[in-house]
Amino acid sequence: MFAERMRAVWVIARRDFVAVVFSKAFIFFLLGPLFPIIIGFFAGAIGASVQHDLDRAVIGVAMPARDGDKLIMARDAMADHMTGGVPDMVVIDRLRPGEHFDARAILKKRQLAAVVTGTLDAPVLTATQGRIDDWRGMVALFAARARSSEAIAYPDVRADVVITSAAHEHNGQVVTAQAGQLLLFLLTMLLAGMVLSNLVEEKANKIIEILAASIPMDALFMGKLFAMLAVSMVGVAVWGTGYGMMVLAGARSIPLLATPAVGWPLFLALGFLYFAMAYLLLGSMFLAIGGMANTVREVQTLSMPATMMQLIVFFLASFALARPGTWIETLSEVFPVSSPYAMLAHAAEHPAIMPHVIALAWQGLWVVIMVRGGAMLFRRTVMKSGPGRVRKRAANRAGNRAGQPA
C-alpha cells in the first residue's frame, strides 16, 4: 500500500515537474527576477560613483598667505595619522593685511564644502551646521599644528588586536540569522504561488478530476508539492549561479556575514531543509485553498489571508529573534508555519544539532497532516459535486437519445 502511494507520488511529481520546467513560460519565470538584479547592480554602481564624487569634500582656505600655506602643510602632515576621511584643503585666496573675504558668497559660487578664514590664532569655519560639528575640532588641530615652529614626532602605537569578542560574535550571528530568515521568506513567497496556479489550472480543465479517479488525493497533492519544490530548486540554482557569475565578473559581493554557531556547511544544509519545509507547509496551505476555489477571483480572495498570515509568521519569527529565552521564541519554534524561520535563526546562534532533528520531524509531520486535510477538503467540496454533474450530463444525454425519433 505504501509502495503504491509512493509510486503514485512519483508519477505525479515527475509529470508536473517536466510539464513546468520544459515550458516556455518557465524560462521567462527564471529570467524575471534577474532583470531587477541586473538593473539594481548598474544603478548601484552608478550611484556609488556619483556618491564617491559627492563625498570628495574640499575645504577652501582664504587666509594671509603664510597662514593658509601653513594650515595646508599641517593638514598634509597629519592626514596620514588620522582616519575617518580627512577632507582636502586648497588655497582659494591669499589675503592682504586688513582685506575682507566673503566666505558665504564663495560657498554659493564654488563647489566647496566649507571655507576657513581668519588667522591661525583665530580661525573661522564657514559651513553648514553638520560640517561645523564634524570639522571644528579638526580645523583647530590643524591650526595648532601650523602655529608650532617645531615638528611633532608621532610615536608608534603598538597594536594589540583582538579578533573578536563574545558580544561582537553574538551580534554578528544575529545579523546572519536575520539575513537567513529574510532570504528564506523571500524565496518561499516568490516560489510557493506556483502550487496554487498549477492546481487551479488543472481544476478548471477538469484534469484534476481524471487524475483523482485513479490516484489517491493525498498522493496527488503530495506529488504536486514535491514537483513544485523541485521546480523551485531549479529556480534557486539558476539564480544562485547567475549571482555567482556576477560576483566573478567583478560585481560587489554581499557583506561578509558572521560565521553561524553550527558552521557554514551545516547552516547551508539546514537552510536548504528549512526552505523545503517552509515551501511544503505553505504549498499545502495553497493546495487546500486551490481545492476550495473555482475561479481565479476566488483564488485571489482566499489566498490573501494566507499571504497575510505568512507575513505575520515572518514578523513573529523576527520578533522572537530579539526575545531569546521567552515564550515568544518557544511559540515561534513550535508553531509549524513559523518553525522553519525560527529554527534557522536558532542554528545561527546555537551549536546544538538535536533541536533541528526534532524540528524537522515536527514540520514533516505537519506537512503530512496539512496535505491529508487539504485532500479531504478537496474530496468533500470538488469531488462530491463532480460525479453529480457527470451523472446529470449522462442522464441528459440519455434523455436526448430517448427523445430522438427512431
Task: Quote the pLDDT of residue 340.
Answer: 93
pLDDT for residue 95 is more than 90: no
Contact 339, 355 (CB under 8 A): no
- Minimum mean pLDDT range among 64-78, 216-230, 283-297, 311-325: 283-297
Residue 57: count other Cβ atoms within 10 Å of its Cβ.
18
End-to-end CA distance of the chain: 50
Task: Quote the pLDDT of residue 157.
Answer: 65
Give the Cα separation of 81 and 150 in Å (integer): 18
Task: Quote the pLDDT of residue 390.
Answer: 41
pLDDT for residue 389 is more than 50: no
Secondary structure in 3-state letters for 169-194: HHHHHHHHHHHHHHHHHHHHHHHCHH
Sign of CA dihedral 197, 202, 204, 205: positive
Domains of the chain: 56-147 (3.40.190), 166-392 (no CATH)
**pLDDT tier at 275, thresholds 50, 70, 90:** very high
Instruction: Give CA separation, 225 vs 16, 170, 192, 370, in Å.
Output: 9, 37, 9, 12
Pick 398 or 46 by higher pLDDT.
Answer: 46
Contacts of 333-340 with CB under 8 Å at 24 or more apart are 333/359, 334/362, 336/281, 336/362, 336/363, 336/366, 337/278, 337/281, 337/282, 337/285, 337/309, 337/310, 337/313, 338/313, 338/314, 339/277, 339/363, 340/184, 340/274, 340/275, 340/277, 340/278, 340/281
| pLDDT tens string 309-341 | 888 888 888 888 888 888 998 999 999 999 999
Strand pairing of 88-95 and 123-126? unpaired
- CA angle in degrees (0–180, nearest 5) for 89-94-96: 150
| pLDDT tens string 333-345 | 999 999 999 999 9
- Which amino acid is residue 295, in one-letter code? T
Task: Quote the pLDDT of residue 391.
Answer: 43
What are the residues whose beta carbons fall under 8 Å from the beta carbon of 388, sequence distance 6 or more?
none
Burial class (CB in 10 A: 0-12, 13-18, 19+), 335: middle
Q: Which three cell numbers stand for residue 86?
A: 580627512
- Minimum mean pLDDT range among 66-75, 169-178, 378-387: 378-387
DSSP category for residue 82? -
| pLDDT tens string 108-148 | 888 788 899 888 888 999 988 888 888 888 889 888 888 87
Give the Cα separation of 5 and 223 in Å (integer): 10
Mean pLDDT of 250-270: 78
φ, ψ (nearest 5 deg) of residue 89: -130, 135
| pLDDT tens string 185-217 | 888 887 776 766 666 666 666 677 677 677 887
Partners of 116 in the beta sheet? 61, 125
pLDDT for residue 251 is more than 80: no
- Please report how the helices 264-292 and 217-248 are oriented relative to each other, as an axis angle in degrees rounded to 10: 130
Task: Quote the pLDDT of residue 270.
Answer: 93
Give the Cα separation of 194 and 26 in Å (integer): 11
pTM of the full structure: 0.66
Average pLDDT, the chain: 78
pLDDT for residue 237 is more than 90: no
Query: Looking up cell 531543509, which residue turns up?
Result: 273
